[in-house]
Amino acid sequence: MSHTAKPIAIIDSGLGGLTVAQELRKQLPCEDLIYFGDTAHLPYGSKSAETVTAFVRRIIRFLISERPKHVVIACNTATAVAMPALVPEFADLPISGVIEPGARAAVVAAGTKRVPNIGVIATEATIKSKAYDRAIMRRRHLAHVFLRATPLLVPMIEEGRTSEDPLVEMALRQYLQGMLLQKIDVLVLGCTHYPLLKPAIAKVVGPRVKLIDSAEQCAQDVARRLARRQMLRSPTASKTGEKNDSDKVESPAGSMRAFVTDDPSRFASLAGHFLQLPIDKPTLIDSHQLEKADAPSTYLRAG
């Protein structure tokens, strides 16, 4: 398999990373995607850094056999608490997350205001890590950053609740009340589940507040990284291997395969419900299969 034809792997605790998959499909339609939803252990946001790191380490080791050209940790919690340890551990495997792209976009959206007010909603673990706070302040020293843990939102989404659900709006109004009193200019949706509730969030904060979709920014970041490494799959392929335009044919749309650690049918149903992203029934991976794959973490590139 050529380097450019290798898949992009996406890791999340459940459904949220599908928002990244959806954005990647829009921006890089020829790429093959592999999605791993650790549905047996969601939500990650209420767990310790050590526990989340152990979960993600095992998933990466499992996915190494798929020969990914890039791994996206499409979970803000895992990006905040696990990536610092796992990037050096898997030094030969390109890994990126969602926090730096989201922070960068928030600073850009704040514009020229001397001291912008930037809000971040995320899981308890992400907020406790202060990863967004640090990432934003590195780029905008005079910004006021307001952080708010919103622990009910991920379980609500995983239950199948949508922006139209009155309980969702009630929870959002409670969580966002303090930030609105601070007159925030920008709100970062610091969990890849949260774009699924974007209509309700936009309704609560109003048109003046700019929303930063961490999933969208993450996908743009992955596209830039792959382009820089010349690893993007070409939209055209030559039938003969010669540079003759008449021989070139359009490559088929990229495929998407999914793995989950619990209840594949429910995952597939909710994925279609929220994202209108039909996927084949995911493959169930149990703890024994993950333990079996829990081998040395060296990533060997295929020739």
* 241-277 per-position pLDDT tens digit: 444 554 554 556 889 999 999 999 999 988 887 776 6
| In the chain, domain spans | 8-97+216-293, 99-213
Among positive and negative, which fits the CA dihedral 129, 135, 138, 140? negative
pLDDT at 291: 81
- The DSSP bridge partners found for residue 72 are 10, 96
Question: What is the enclosing helix (H) or strand (E) of 103?
Answer: helix 99-109
Domains 8-97+216-293 and 99-213 share a fold: yes
| Architecture of the domain whose range is 99-213 | 3-Layer(aba) Sandwich (3.40)
Smallest CA-to-CA distance from 45 within 120, 151, 161, 121 is with 151
pLDDT tier at 171, thresholds 50, 70, 90? very high
**Between 272 and 56, whose confidence is greater?**
56
- Strand pairing report for 117-122 and 144-149: parallel
The per-residue pLDDT for 295 is 56
Higher pLDDT, 188 or 245: 188
Active-site residue (options: 52, 99, 191, 270) = 191
Catalytic residue among 10, 28, 52, 75: 75
In the predicted model, is pLDDT for residue 239 greater than 50? no
- Is 191 catalytic? The answer is yes
* 3-state SS, one letter per residue, for 177-216: HHHHHCCCCEEEECCCCHHHHHHHHHHHHCCCCEEEEHHH
d(CA 259, CA 36) in angstroms, rounded, equals: 5
Non-local CB neighbours of 185 within 8 Å, separated by 6+ positions:
109, 110, 111, 113, 116, 117, 118, 208, 209, 210
CB atoms within 10 A of CB 286: 11
The pLDDT value given to residue 290? 87
d(CA 23, CA 17): 10
Asked if residues 124 and 149 have their Cβ atoms less than 8 Å apart, the reply is yes
**DSSP class of residue 247?**
G
Show Cβ contacts of residue 103 under 8 Å, excluding neighbours closer than 6 positions.
132, 135, 136, 138, 139, 188
Q: Looking at the predicted structure, is the pLDDT value of residue 297 above 50? A: no
The answer to whether residue 30 is catalytic is: no
CB 285 within 8 A of CB 267: no
Percent of the chain predicted with pLDDT > 70: 90
Mean pLDDT, the chain, whole residue set: 90
Name the CATH topology of 8-97+216-293. Rossmann fold (3.40.50)
Q: What is the pLDDT of residue 242?
A: 46
Q: What is the pLDDT of residue 287?
A: 83
Beta-carbon contacts of 196 under 8 Å, excluding residues fewer than 6 positions away, are 15, 16, 19, 157, 162, 163, 274, 275
Instruction: State the average pLDDT over residues 11-38.
Output: 94
- Let me know: does 172 contact 121? Beta carbons within 8 Å: no
- The mean pLDDT of 156-174, rounded to a whole number, is 95
Residue 278: exposure state from Cβ atoms within 10 A (0-12, 13-18, ≥19): exposed
